[in-house]
Structure 1
């Protein structure tokens, strides 16, 4: 996979906002006046730090080229050949809104991506993948 291949990852501004919120939560946990606030801000800081680190370290999340796909997860890189891949968009209705997810199935593995992980609409990503698939 080269750098000219289309790739998708969380938007940098979103990851940066998560990092800033994590720093704010850490400072709030240190300065909190009561035990309950300290616990709340500590839990928030841990969650925001974990999510922000994931967004920083697992980039790009999905890469495609004429040979196949590369998916990065916390357990490493997974290279998938096009003949082994089935990709589709699943739309569900939640809280009065349609939520689309990109599902990539390869053998026994199922990878599910939302717009936060891709930094783009899953329908647009599927269109690009369909155009690349031989």
Structure 2
């Protein structure tokens, strides 16, 4: 990807809040004197650490330029040229809440992004990708 690329990643403040919440959950695990509470705090600690670590390691999550997109996952970066890539928005409604996700697909690969992974509204990212795709 060259210098005219744009990228999206989880907001650093959100990742920091995840680490803070993990520290609080760890403190709860160490300080709570009930066995069930220890288990619940321990599970929360592990989940929060894994989510925060993921938010740090896969930065930037999505990069795009006039040649295509690059998606970072824990298994590495996936280069997708525009020629074989489809970008779409998916609207869902569950429990009276509307949710919008961005879907990027190429061949057998499908990547789904929400606002947390992108650090931005998926609709705005879709508009920028459509502009770059031409």
Fold similarity call, TM over 0.5:
yes
CA RMSD of aligned residues (A): 1.0
Runs of 5+ unmatched residues, structure 1:
none
Q: How many residues align?
A: 134
Runs of 5+ unmatched residues, structure 2:
none
Give, in whole Å, the separation in 1 of the partners of 2:9 and 2:35. Answer: 37
Give, in whole Å, the separation in 1 of the partners of 2:108 and 2:38. Answer: 43
- Mapping for residues 98-113 of structure 1, pairs under 5 Å: 98-113=98-113
* CA offset digits 1:22-50 (Å, max 9, x no partner): 01111110111111111111000000000
* CA offset digits 1:42-80 (Å, max 9, x no partner): 000000000000000000000000111000011100001
Give, in whole Å, the separation in 1 of the partners of 2:66 and 2:3. Answer: 13
Give, in whole Å, the separation in 2 of the partners of 1:127 and 1:43. Answer: 38
TM-score by length of 1: 0.96
* CA offset digits 1:62-111 (Å, max 9, x no partner): 00001110000111000010001000001011121210000011001111
